[in-house]
Structure 1
Amino acid sequence: MGITSSNKEINSSQIRCGGTFRVTLALSAAPDISENPTDIVLVLDRSGSMAGSPLANLKLGANTFIDIIDESTDSTQDGQIGLGSRIAIVSFSGSATANTQLITSVSDLKSAVNSLSAGGATNHADAFSTAMSLFDPSSSNARVIVMFTDGKTTAGIPPAPIAEAIRDSGVVIYCIGLIGDNGIDVDSLNDWATDPDTSHVVFTPDESELEELFADLAANISKPGATNIVIDETLNPSFTILNVSIPSTGTATTIDSHSLQWKIPSLGVSGNEGASLEFYVQHTGKTSGTLPVNQSISYTDDEGNLVTFPDPTIQVDCGTVVNPEPCPVPIDFTIGSCQDSLIVDLGDTCLESSGRIVQLNITLKNVCPKKRVALGIILSETDSYGQEYPRGMKTITVPAHSLTGCQDVEIQCIKFILPEDLTPSENSCRSLCHERNLKARIIAHYIDTDFQCCDSTVTF
């Protein structure tokens, strides 16, 4: 079976600038089919578009697949699928048919394949459902579906949810596609198949290559686990490896602050087996935004398994950096050799000022008792031409008083900040020496009222 799954996950979708997160790499592998009895359902498209040479090439491919599995189970093509493994044939067009149950007879399997004829629509959902119905829930065998198709779904319900449910039950799905101008698209195959797509999906636009694709897939299903695994990971330069945990299997070594190598002597050779590695990463770059975690990640083993890992991204929020008082521009000058003194005119410089604070007091006249007041102050500044510039707005809830009759209420210390870089003055040195002309607008009204809108009435 080789590598049956590979994954890479991070434990956070967003961090602050300089934050940390955990990365988890995971692999699983299964042993040779002779050590791991497997039930395989070949699902074959016999819709109208397969008529002629496509169907003939499909039959060649399916028969080659059966022969390879026959030999892999007991080291000889003796006409029997050995050591507990079995194969079934399902074919489909507008609906699906179980042409055989899960059996071991190579001749019966090939007879079912060779008897197929093309015609009708394409119902992938019924094909998946029929294939799934052939598995024995009480069997301990591994379960595999190999779906071949050349066309888009033209009958039945959408197949993706059916395929997802099958995968979730533990069945491994491989897909073989014959791609044409109006045929099945690769995205659909990837959607149905078990991840990673690179080891579970094969396709070709050339029907003459079908036999080779079926043969390669049979070899992949029957190969033994994986040995001498080497995974090399290099992070995006914006991230640094903080520490690496001891992996569940094998050894992990930090190459430098951005790279590590994970070596696994063997995985899934004698039984289904998984392996995982965790390491912690810190954002050390100056770049924010949505960043890929990896610069690269590669996988090799002695069996030639093709393995890819997901490429997660993380949102890095470095906030908005403001430098209100930048460093002064330097003035260059030189004092000559053997020169005892030097007089340099450094020109003008301006005082730096953080601005001014305006503090307003307001008296609300004749406020009734037991009524809160909503108060708003809108501040603006005018230039020498009368042009107004907004300088802020404050809204305040004035609590109700409980005195007898209406009373004046004084509100004190309403503060507005006026940085000097906002002044409309054209003077190059914006400082406290210049007047600033302000306008304040005040809005006030009661919040509380005893008014109630009566219900509408109808008079006859």
Structure 2
Amino acid sequence: MGITNSNKQINVDRIDCDGTLRVTLALSASPDISTNPTDIVLVLDRSGSMAGSPLANMKAGAKTFIDIIDEATDSAQDGNIGSGSRIGIVSFSDTAVANTQLITSVDTLKDAVDSLTAGGSTNHADAFQQATQLFDPLSANAKVIVMFTDGKTTSGVPPAPIAAAARASGVIIYCIGLIGLDGIDINVLNDWATDPDASHVAVTPNDEDLEQLFKDLAANISKTGATDIVIDEIVNSDFTITSLTPPTKGTAMMTDSHTIQWKIPELGVTANEGASLEFLVRHTAQDSGEKLVNQSISYSDNEGNVVVFPEPSVLVDCGIVVHPEPCPIPVDLTAESCQDSIIIDAGDAYLQSLGRILQMDVTVKNVCPGKRVALAIVLTEVDPNGLEYSRGMKTLTIPAHDYPSCRDVLVKCVKFVLPEDLDVSGGIPTAMCSTRSFKVRLIAHNIDTDYQCCDSIVTIL
């Protein structure tokens, strides 16, 4: 059968700017159908929500699936499923019916598909029950159910126990989901499908994609298992890989902070097998938006299986981000061997400052030895009406000195950055030469004192 499914999932659809998400890569593979006869039941949703193009595209997909299996079993599209394999059709709405038994006639199978009409509710439990009853428990053929649905269960008993019983009996279950009018619960499809869930479930919001999904599944089912698998995953440059969990099959390693290589010696060569790999990535850029998690992902094996992984995206919310002015463009130069002096023309430089730096010295008077001092400097700007606007506050600790007497301490080079676009002093906005008015307030006090709290004692004399 070859690679029967491939998937890539992320565990969340939205993260904060420095948020982390979990990525899961998954594959499943099965042996060659021509040497490993397989009984396949196509379980097709014909509920009312399938009316129109969804039903037409599902029929096209199912018939394409049948043609591919026809050719794969005996190397020719001769209208007959060969090599001991068979296909059956079950359809469902309020209840399920077996439109055919497990047969080999391609024409009969296609006629059954073409006869389907849409109407009624959605009874997945009866669909699984009818599909399971088509299999001969004494047959040595591999057993596969391909469940197609476009909605949630709306009638019948819960289907999960029936699907679980089918899996326990050795049936491999694949689920193809169309996000229809009633929506679809991917977690439910994962619950029905054979493990690993991610490699046995494919979902699309567009019914135009259905034929391709059926085609891909049939093409992979018809090939042999895969050997010498190599998967190279490169995540988007806005993300960094932070951890890697050992895969369920094969080995994986990080070649750098953005790249993972996963190698699997063989998968699905003697029986259906699934494999999965999980790793964590963290968003490291500073901009918001809907972002693809992976930059690229490539697949190769000895059998030439064509594998395409989904490209999940996540919404990154960085809040309000202020981008500073860019760094100046550098001038490139090279110092040649043994060259001990270099003369270059570095180009022109222009005054581009958008603000000023206010630097002040402060003298704190009469600081006594052994006393640390807390100093606060509050800066405001004054407009023509005398109103003050905060321009910042600096706080610092002045270390204690060990001179024998109290003395003054000079604090030098306290700096405030004053953007010109905050000018309220009445000058020309953004003009570097405008006069600006400020007020500075200083607050200083000793940190260390001899004071200790003690209990009050009242003595009556």
For normalisation by structure 1, the TM-score amounts to 0.52
- Letter of the aligned partner of 1:79 in structure 2? G
Which of 297, 306, 323 in structure 2 is aligned with 1:304? 306
Cα contact 1:198–1:306 (8 A) shared by 2: no
Provide Cα deviations, 1:221-273, integer angstroms capped at 9, x if missing partner: 223323452234789969578xx999975x76663589653334553346556
Quote the residue 2:283 is aligned against.
none
Residues 222/431 of structure 1: CA separation in 2 closer, same or farther (3 Å cut): same
Provide Cα deviations, 1:299-354, integer angstroms capped at 9, x if missing partner: 622423245899xxxxxxxxxxxxxxxxxxxxxxxxxxxxxxxxxx99667589xx
Residues 114/196 of structure 1: CA separation in 2 closer, same or farther (3 Å cut): same
Quote the residue 1:110 is aligned against.
110
Residues 205/191 of structure 1: CA separation in 2 closer, same or farther (3 Å cut): farther
2:230 is equivalent to residue 213 of structure 1: no
Quote the residue 2:358 is aligned against.
none
SS of the residue corresponding to residue 63 of structure 2 reads helix
Cα contact 1:6–1:196 (8 A) shared by 2: no
Aligned pairs for 1:220-231 (under 5 A) are 220-231=220-231
Rounded Cα–Cα distance in structure 2 between residues aligned with 1:125 and 1:350: 83
2:72 is equivalent to residue 72 of structure 1: yes
- Letter of the aligned partner of 1:176 in structure 2? I
Shift of 1:60: 3.1
- Letter of the aligned partner of 2:84 in structure 1? G
Quote the residue 1:452 is aligned against.
none
Residues 260/47 of structure 1: CA separation in 2 closer, same or farther (3 Å cut): closer
SS of the residue corresponding to residue 36 of structure 1 reads coil
Residues 271/209 of structure 1: CA separation in 2 closer, same or farther (3 Å cut): closer
Shift of 1:40: 0.9
Shift of 1:72: 0.9
- Letter of the aligned partner of 2:453 in structure 1? R
Shift of 1:105: 2.4
Output the aligned Cα RMSD. Answer: 4.9
Rounded Cα–Cα distance in structure 1 between residues aligned with 2:258 and 2:212: 41
Aligned residues: 305
- Letter of the aligned partner of 1:118 in structure 2? A
Rounded Cα–Cα distance in structure 2 between residues aligned with 1:139 and 1:25: 33
Shift of 1:86: 1.5
Mean CA deviation greater in 196-205 or 212-221: 196-205
Shift of 1:108: 2.8
Shift of 1:41: 0.8
Provide Cα deviations, 1:160-182, integer angstroms capped at 9, x if missing partner: 44434444554332233343334
Cα contact 2:179–2:203 (8 A) shared by 1: no
Mean CA deviation greater in 43-52 or 127-136: 43-52
Rounded Cα–Cα distance in structure 2 between residues aligned with 1:124 and 1:168: 18
SS of the residue corresponding to residue 437 of structure 1 reads coil
Rounded Cα–Cα distance in structure 2 between residues aligned with 1:298 and 1:35: 31
Cα contact 1:26–1:277 (8 A) shared by 2: yes
- Letter of the aligned partner of 1:304 in structure 2? V
Rounded Cα–Cα distance in structure 2 between residues aligned with 1:273 and 1:175: 16
Q: Please, which runs of 5 or more residues in structure 1 have no aligned partner?
A: 9-23, 282-293, 311-344, 353-426, 440-460
Rounded Cα–Cα distance in structure 1 between residues aligned with 2:165 and 2:55: 29
Residues 247/214 of structure 1: CA separation in 2 closer, same or farther (3 Å cut): closer
Aligned pairs for 1:7-406 (under 5 A) are 29-51=29-51, 54-182=54-182, 184=184, 188-194=188-194, 195-197=196-198, 200-206=201-207, 208-232=208-232, 255=255, 261-264=261-264, 266-269=266-269, 272=272, 298=297, 300-301=299-300, 302-306=304-308
For normalisation by structure 2, the TM-score amounts to 0.52
- Letter of the aligned partner of 1:205 in structure 2? N
Q: Please, which runs of 5 or more residues in structure 2 have no aligned partner?
A: 9-23, 281-292, 313-364, 373-443, 457-461
Residues 253/92 of structure 1: CA separation in 2 closer, same or farther (3 Å cut): closer
Residues 203/260 of structure 1: CA separation in 2 closer, same or farther (3 Å cut): closer
Residues 26/92 of structure 1: CA separation in 2 closer, same or farther (3 Å cut): closer
Shift of 1:42: 0.6
Rounded Cα–Cα distance in structure 1 between residues aligned with 2:266 and 2:181: 43
Residues 121/234 of structure 1: CA separation in 2 closer, same or farther (3 Å cut): closer
User: Larger Cα Rg: Structure 1 or Structure 2?
Assistant: 1
Shift of 1:68: 1.1
2:435 is equivalent to residue 433 of structure 1: no
Provide Cα deviations, 1:254-300, integer angstroms capped at 9, x if missing partner: 63589653334553346556779999x9xxxxxxxxxxxx9999562
- Letter of the aligned partner of 1:110 in structure 2? K
Rounded Cα–Cα distance in structure 2 between residues aligned with 1:438 and 1:224: 89
Rounded Cα–Cα distance in structure 2 between residues aligned with 1:158 and 1:79: 37
Aligned pairs for 1:406-425 (under 5 A) are none
Cα contact 2:232–2:298 (8 A) shared by 1: yes
Rounded Cα–Cα distance in structure 2 between residues aligned with 1:245 and 1:180: 36
Shift of 1:88: 1.1
Shift of 1:69: 0.7
Shift of 1:113: 2.4
Rounded Cα–Cα distance in structure 1 between residues aligned with 2:62 and 2:26: 33
Rounded Cα–Cα distance in structure 2 between residues aligned with 1:274 and 1:150: 25
Residues 239/44 of structure 1: CA separation in 2 closer, same or farther (3 Å cut): closer
